[in-house]
Amino acid sequence: MIMILAAAAVIYYALAVKRKNRYLSAVLYGLLGIGWLYFMHPPVNVHAYEFWIFVWLMIFVGALLFVRKKGPEIALVRSGGKKVKKSKEASFPFFRKTLIAFGLFAACWAVIDIANSPLFHAGGYARRIEVSEVSFSEIPSFNFQETAIIDRESAQLVGDKVMGEMTDLVSQFDVSSEYNQISYEQGTYRVTPLSYSGFIKYMKNRTEGVPGYILVNTTTGNAQLIRLDRKMKYVPSGYFNDNLYRRLQFAYPTELFGTPTFEIDDSGNPYYVCTTYTYTGLHAMKKVTGVILYDPTDGSSYKYALQDVPSWADRVYPESLIDVELNDYGKYQKGFLNSVFGQEGVIRTSEGYNYISKDGDIWLYTGMTSAASDQSNIGFMLVDLRTHKAQYTTVSCATETAVMASAEGEVLNYGYAATFPTLINAGGKPVYLLSLKDSAGLIKMYAMVDAQDYQQVYTARAEKDSSSAIAGLLKQTAGSAGSSGNAVSVTFTIEAINQMNISGNTVLYLKGEGQIYRLDISEDNAAKAAFLAVGDRVTCTYYEDGTGTRRILDLS
3-state secondary structure 480-508: HHCCCCCCEEEEEECCEEEEEEECCEEEE
* pLDDT (mean) for 97-114: 87
Other Cβ atoms within 10 Å of 375 Cβ, number: 10
The percent of residues above 70 in pLDDT, for the chain, comes to: 86
Per-residue pLDDT band for 481 (boundaries 50, 70, 90) equals: very low
Backbone angles phi, psi at 554, to 5 degrees: -145, 140
Write the single-letter amino acid at 327: N
Q: Is the pLDDT of residue 155 over 70?
A: yes
pLDDT at 4: 56
With 0-12 CB in 10 A as exposed, 13-18 as middle and 19+ as buried, what is 74?
exposed
Per-residue pLDDT band for 262 (boundaries 50, 70, 90) equals: very high
Other Cβ atoms within 10 Å of 374 Cβ, number: 15
Q: What are 324-368's pLDDT values in tens digits?
A: 999 999 999 999 999 988 888 899 998 889 999 888 899 999 999
Q: What is the pTM of this model?
A: 0.83
Q: Is the pLDDT of residue 472 over 80?
A: no
Q: What are 411-464's pLDDT values in tens digits?
A: 988 999 999 999 888 877 889 999 999 998 899 999 999 988 888 899 888 876
Within 8 A by CB and 6+ apart from 383, the residues are 129, 317, 322, 326, 363, 364, 365, 389, 390, 391
pLDDT at 12: 55
The total number of residues written for the chain in this structure: 556
Other Cβ atoms within 10 Å of 431 Cβ, number: 26
Per-residue pLDDT band for 182 (boundaries 50, 70, 90) equals: very high
Q: Is the pLDDT of residue 118 over 90?
A: yes
Q: Which residue has the higher pLDDT, 447 or 88?
A: 447
pLDDT at 485: 43
pLDDT at 14: 56
Q: What are 12-50's pLDDT values in tens digits?
A: 555 555 455 677 777 878 888 898 999 999 999 999 999
pLDDT at 90: 45
Q: Cα dihedral sign for 503, 507, 511, 516?
A: negative
pLDDT at 547: 64
Q: Is the pLDDT of residue 553 over 60?
A: yes
Mean pLDDT of the chain, nearest integer: 85
Using DSSP's 3-state secondary structure scheme, residue 510 falls into: strand
Q: Rounded to whole angstroms, what are the CA distances from 321 to 151, 312, 383, 397, 532?
A: 22, 21, 11, 25, 55
Per-residue pLDDT band for 96 (boundaries 50, 70, 90) equals: confident
DSSP letter at 172 equals T
pLDDT at 89: 47
Q: Is the pLDDT of residue 267 over 70?
A: yes
Q: Can you tell me the distance from the alpha carbon of 460 to that of 445, in angstroms, rounded to the nearest whole number?
A: 6
Instruction: Give the burial string for 117-145 (b: 16+ CB within 10 Å, else e).
Output: bbeebbeebbebbebeeeebeebbebbbb
